[in-house]
Amino acid sequence: MSNYVLLEEIEKCREEMISLSDSHALTSEVVISSSTKLDQLINEYLNKHD
């Protein structure tokens, strides 16, 4: 995945997580799942820049 696409995915996932946290508890499964996905994308991006 290119850096540009990866950054777009990170932003999309971040916005989704924020939206989910508006309607669900921060400890809910959907918010945690979204946060985990965001963490994975960020780690992938950072690993490309080591």
Q: What's the chain's Rg over C-alpha atoms?
A: 12
Domain count, the chain: 1
List pLDDT tens digits, range 7-36: 999 999 999 999 999 999 999 999 999 999
Q: For residue 49, what pLDDT is reported?
A: 78
Range of the domain at 43: 3-48
